[in-house]
Amino acid sequence: MKKNLNILLILLFIPLAVLRADEGMWLPSLIGELRIGDMQEKGFRLSADDIYQINQAAITDAVVSFGGFCTGELISAEGLLITNHHCGLGSIQRHSSLENNYLDEGFWAMSREEELPNLELYVRFLREVQDVTETVLEGVEDGITEQSREQIIGRNIRKLQDEAMDRTQWKAVTKSFYYGSEYCMFLYEEFNDVRLVGAPPKAVGNFGGDTDNWIWPRHTGDFSFFRIYADENNNPATYAAENVPYKPRNFLPVSAGGVDTGDFTMVCGFPGNTDQYLLSSDLEMIIGKSLPAKIRIRTERMEVMQNQMDKSDEIQIKYSAKYARVANAWKKWQGVIKGINKVEAIAQKKDYEQKFSGWVCRDPAGRREYENVLDSLECLIKKESDLILAYEYQREILGAIEILRFAGNFMDLVEAFQNREIGEYYLDNTIDIAREQSSDFFKDYTVAIDMEIFRRLLIIYMADLPETYYPVPLQEAMQKYRGDIDGYTTYLFDKTIFSSKEKIMSLLEDPDQADLKKIENDPVFSLARACEDLSAKIRHSYRSITDLKNTIYRLYVKGLREMEPDRGFYADANGSMRIAYGQVRDYRPRDATRYGSLTTLDGIIEKSYLSMEDYIIPEKLRELYEQKDFGPYTVNGKVPVCFIASNHTSGGNSGSPVLNADGHLIGINFDRNWEGTMSDYVYDVNQCRNIVVDIRYVLFIIDKYAGAGHLIDEMKIIPK
C-alpha cells in the first residue's frame, strides 16, 4: 500500500508536459528552443538546424503545401514529389474519361513528355518564418473593441506583407496564434507548373474505400506522384512546354529499412485547424448539436450520389472526387464523437476548468483579469448554440446545392453589366471567367443528383429552422406551393437556365441586356442571391459572437500559460507548417481488442475474398502475390503496407512525410484511426494514431506492379 502511495505521489508531481507524451504540433522555427531535447531523448539523431534553417538546406525545404489542402514532399533532385492518392484525386479525375479512365486503371508516365499538366494546381515551399508579433500589434491598446483591434492588425499585416513581397518576390502569409496573442509571417515560394507523374488504380490508392476510411487496420496504397517544373533558371513559372524539372534545395532520402514498433517517427506538414483549448461547454455543443446535424445532412447527400453512381460509369467518374470529399468528413465526425465520449474528454475539461478557477481564487488581486473568463465564455457559448444550426445549414445545405453555387458565380457578371462605366475590359474579362467556370461546372454535373439533394435537404432545412431563416424566395414559394417541396423543386429546376449547358453557353457567346434580364429573373439565380444575403446576415450574427469568444479565449489561454509556465503549450494548427513526433505504436480501441502497428499484403489478399466492392483488387496484384514476386520489398517474406504511430496530426497533414530518426522517408501520412479523430480537440496518446502508407509498399507498387522503375532510379534509397 505504501509503495502504491509513493507511485501516486510521484505521478502527481510529474510535469504535465511529460504526461502529454507525443502531443503537439510545433512550429519548425521553435523546435530548437522548445522540443529538440525531448526529441533527441526519444531517439532523434539530428539537430534543430537539420529540421529548419533559413540559409542552408533542411528537411523543411523538401516539404510543400500541396494545393493549399494537403502536404507533399520532394524525393529526387529532379523535382519528383509524392503525396497521397486522395490529395491528387482531383487532378487524376480531371484527366480521366471513359476512354482513359485513370481513376480505375491508374496512370504512369514512362517519360517526361507523358507527364500531365494541372493548371489549377500549385505547391508552396516555406522559405522563412518570422515572429512579427510586435509589429502586428503596434497601435493595439487595452480596452479597444475587437473590430478596431482587427482593423489595426489588418493594416499592420498588409504593410508588413507588402514590404516582404517587394523585398523577396515570395508570397507572405501572416497567421495568428493563441487567439491573436502572437503572430508569425511565413514566406513562401510558389510553383504553378505541377504535372501528374503517376498514380495507382483506385483499387490500390483507395483500397478499402468508405469501409476502411478512418479505420485501422488499413491496407491502402494512398500515394500519387507529381513533378514540379521551373523555367530555365530554376525559378517559378506558369506551365510551358519548355519548362524543365525543378532542382530543389533539398529532397528526402528514402529508407528501405522499414520500421519496428517503438521506433521514433516525425511528421512535417501543414495541418489545417485544431481547437485544443476549448471549454467543456463548447465541446458539448460540437458533439451534441453541430456534428450530429452535419452527419445527418451528409448522409442524405451521399445516398443520392451513390444511387446514381451505381447506375452509370460516367457518373461514377464525375462524382468520385465529390463523393469522397463529402464522405471523408462525414465519417470523421462520427469518430470525433465516439472518441471524445470514449476518453471522457468533457469531464476532463471540466476538471481542468475547476483547476483554473482555483488558481485564480488563490490570488484574486493579482489575477483579477481572469476572474470572469469562464462565466463570460459560458454565456457566449450558450448564445452560439442557439444560432449554430442556422449557421451550419447555410454551409451544409444551401452551400451544398451545386446549381445554387454555380448561379451565384453569375453575380459578378450582373454587377459588371450594371457598372459598365468601369470599362469594357472588366466586363469582357468577367464574361471569359463565366465561360470557363461554366465549362468546368457542366463537365462534372448531373441535374438529377442535384435536384434530389435539393429536395431532401430542403425538407431538413424547413423542419429544423424557423421561417426567419428562410431566404425570401423560399418563403414566397412555400406560400404559393402550400408547403409542397416536391412541386417547388420541380418548378425550380424546370424553369432555370442554369441546369442547361447549351442555354448557358449560348447566353455567354455575346451577352446583352436581354440576357442580363434572363439571369436576373431566373428563379435559381434569385434564390442564390437571396441565400447569399441571408447567409451574410447569419454569418454576421455568428461572427459577432465568435469574435467576443476569441477575445476571451485569448485571455483564457494567457491565463493557462501563466498557471503552468513549465508546460509546453503549442499553438492550435492554422495551416502553417508544423512538426509532430512520436513512435510507431499499437493500441487498444476497445475492451479485449489490441491492434498491432503494421499491416502487410497478406491482409489485402484476405480482404479481397470478402466479395465487397471496396475490397476488389487488380488481378495483377493478386498474380504478384501468388507468384511471391515481391522483389527486395519484404520483411520475413511479407510486403509491408501500412503502419501507425502516435504523431499528432490533423486535416492538411495528408501527404506529409513520416521520417525516421535520421530524417529519412519511411512513409506517407494519410489518415487517423477512427477512435483518434478527436485529436483536433483532445489528444490522448493511448488512443490517437496517425496512419501511414509504408514507403516499401510504394516502391513495390512502382517497381513490380507499374513497371515504373525509372522513378525509383531517381530516388536516393537508403538500403536495409
Separation CA 488–CA 477 (nearest Å): 7
How many CB atoms lie under 10 A from the CB of residue 54? Answer: 12
pLDDT at residue 18, rounded to an integer: 37
Greatest C-alpha distance within the chain: 90
pLDDT digit string, tens, across residues 11-52: 333 333 333 468 999 999 999 988 999 999 999 999 999 999
Tell me the one-letter amino acid at 481.
Y
Separation CA 42–CA 52 (nearest Å): 19
- Grid coordinates belonging to 445: 454535373
Q: Which of 23, 95, 37 has the alpha carbon at shortest distance from 267?
A: 23
- Grid coordinates belonging to 206: 483507395
- How much is the average pLDDT of 618-636? 96
pLDDT digit string, tens, across residues 9-21: 333 333 333 334 6
pLDDT digit string, tens, across residues 280-336: 999 999 999 999 999 999 999 999 999 999 999 899 988 988 998 899 899 999 999
Share of the chain above pLDDT 90, in %: 86
pLDDT at residue 424, rounded to an integer: 67
Q: Do the beta carbons of residue 292 and residue 591 sit within 8 Å?
A: no
Q: Do the beta carbons of residue 118 and residue 177 sit within 8 Å?
A: no
Q: Do the beta carbons of residue 22 and residue 581 sit within 8 Å?
A: yes
Separation CA 717–CA 203 (nearest Å): 27
Q: Do the beta carbons of residue 440 and residue 434 sit within 8 Å?
A: no
Separation CA 213–CA 324 (nearest Å): 10
Q: Do the beta carbons of residue 556 and residue 375 sit within 8 Å?
A: no
pLDDT at residue 624, rounded to an integer: 98
pLDDT at residue 417, rounded to an integer: 83
pLDDT at residue 419, rounded to an integer: 76
pLDDT at residue 420, rounded to an integer: 64
Q: Which of 78, 120, 66 has the alpha carbon at shortest distance from 95?
A: 120
pLDDT at residue 422, rounded to an integer: 57
> 3-class DSSP state for residue 434?
helix
Q: Do the beta carbons of residue 681 and residue 276 sit within 8 Å?
A: yes
Q: Examine the pLDDT at 567 and tell me if it is beyond 90.
A: no
Q: Do the beta carbons of residue 690 and residue 671 sit within 8 Å?
A: yes
Separation CA 256–CA 55 (nearest Å): 30
Going from N- to C-terminal start, the domains of the chain cover 55-122+192-275+570-718, 127-188, 280-558
List beta partners, residue 587: 595
- Grid coordinates belonging to 569: 503549450
- Grid coordinates belonging to 227: 513533378
Tell me the one-letter amino acid at 358.
G
pLDDT digit string, tens, across residues 401-446: 999 999 999 998 888 887 765 556 678 888 999 999 999 999 999 9
Average pLDDT, the chain: 93
pLDDT at residue 423, rounded to an integer: 57
pTM equals 0.88
Q: Which of 39, 119, 4, 16 has the alpha carbon at shortest distance from 579?
A: 39
Separation CA 184–CA 190 (nearest Å): 19
Q: Torsion-angle region of residue 122: left (phi > 0), alpha (psi -120 to 50) or beta?
A: beta
pLDDT digit string, tens, across residues 510-551: 888 898 899 999 999 999 999 999 999 999 999 999 999 999
Helix, strand, coil percentages (3-state) for the chain, rounded to 5, are: 50, 15, 35
How many CB atoms lie under 10 A from the CB of residue 232? Answer: 9
Q: Examine the pLDDT at 109 and tell me if it is beyond 90.
A: yes
The four Cα atoms 671, 677, 683, 686 give a dihedral, to 10 degrees, of: -80
pLDDT at residue 3, rounded to an integer: 37
pLDDT at residue 231, rounded to an integer: 97
Give residue for cell 461546372.
441
- Grid coordinates belonging to 366: 493579482
Separation CA 453–CA 457 (nearest Å): 6
pLDDT digit string, tens, across residues 359-404: 999 999 999 999 999 999 999 999 999 999 999 999 999 999 999 9
In terms of C-beta density within 10 A (0-12 exposed, 13-18 middle, 19 or more buried), how is residue 591 classed?
A: exposed
pLDDT at residue 21, rounded to an integer: 63
Helix (H) or strand (E) holding 464: helix 447-464
Q: Torsion-angle region of residue 636: left (phi > 0), alpha (psi -120 to 50) or beta?
A: left
Helix (H) or strand (E) holding 131: strand 123-131
What confidence tier does 4 reach under pLDDT thresholds 50, 70, 90? Answer: very low
CATH class held by domain 55-122+192-275+570-718: mainly beta
pLDDT at residue 421, rounded to an integer: 57
Q: Do the beta carbons of residue 603 and residue 641 sit within 8 Å?
A: yes
- Grid coordinates belonging to 682: 483532445
pLDDT digit string, tens, across residues 214-237: 999 999 999 999 999 999 999 999
Share of the chain above pLDDT 70, in %: 96
- Grid coordinates belonging to 558: 494567457
What confidence tier does 74 reach under pLDDT thresholds 50, 70, 90? Answer: very high
Q: Which of 336, 257, 339 has the alpha carbon at shortest distance from 584?
A: 257
Catalytic site residues?
86, 222, 654
How many CB atoms lie under 10 A from the CB of residue 7? Answer: 10
